[in-house]
Amino acid sequence: MQRCNRFFYETAGAPKETDQLKKAIFAKTRKTMSNNHTSEVLFRIELDENRIPENILWTAKDGGVENEESKAIMLSIWDSKAKESLRMDLWTKEMPVDEMKVFFHQTLVAMADTFHRATGDDKMSDTMKDFASYFAEKMEIGK
C-alpha cells in the first residue's frame, strides 16, 4: 500500500485565524511525536431555536486562539474502517454569499495543494487547480 507523503495543513489566502490554527495543529503534531503531549482544537456552535447556526467559535490554545468567531467551517474526517469521508459543513445566518464563494475557492486551491503533497501526483493536482481557476472565473472572484 502506498502511503501519503506527510501530514500538512494549509489554506490559500489564509487569514490570521487560519495561521493560528495551523500553528496549533503543528505544535500538537510535534509534541505528540516527541513526548506524547496532546492538544485540542474545539468548535462551539451556537444555534437558534430552529437549530440553525448563529455563531461559530473556535479555540486552539496551543495556537493562541480562544473563542475566535468564524462564519463557516468545513471539516472532513476519514473513516478508514468504512473507507469514506465524514463531513461537517456549517455556516452562520450572517455568512454572505460572496464570502462563501471565496471560501469555497480557497478550499479548492488548498485541496489541490494538499493532494499534491500527499500523493505527489502533479497531473491531477494541476487539473484540480485548473478547476479552481475555472470556478473563480465563473464565480467572478477577483484575485
Could you read off the pLDDT of 32-83 as tens digits, one per residue?
556 778 899 999 999 999 999 999 999 999 999 999 999 999 999 999 999 9
Domain count, the chain: 2
Do 75 and 112 have their domain in common? Answer: no
138 plus 105 within the same structural domain:
yes
Per-residue pLDDT, 35: 72
Same domain, 105 and 123: yes
Looking at the chain, the whole-number percentage of residues with pLDDT higher than 90 is 71
| Same structural domain, 50 and 87 | yes
What is the arithmetic mean of pLDDT over 99-118?
97
Mean pLDDT on 93-112: 96
Q: Are residues 32 and 49 in the same domain?
A: yes
Q: Does 31 share its domain with 78?
A: yes
50 in the same domain as 89? yes
69, 2: one domain = yes
Do 102 and 55 lie in one domain? The reply is no
Q: Quick one: 78 and 106 in the same domain?
A: no
Give the domain range for residue 88: 1-94
Residues 48 and 83 in one domain: yes
Which pLDDT tens digit goes with each residue over 92-101? 999 999 999 9
Flag whether pLDDT at 88 surpasses 70.
yes
For the chain, the three-class secondary structure string (H helix, E strand, C coil) is: CCCCCCCCCCCCCCCHHHHHHHHHHHHHHHHHHHHCCCCCCEEEEEECCCCCEEEEEEEEHHHCEEEEEECEEEEEEEECCCCEEEEEEEECCCCCHHHHHHHHHHHHHHHHHHHHHHHCCHHHHHHHHHHHHHHHHHCCCCC
> Is 74 found in the same domain as 32?
yes
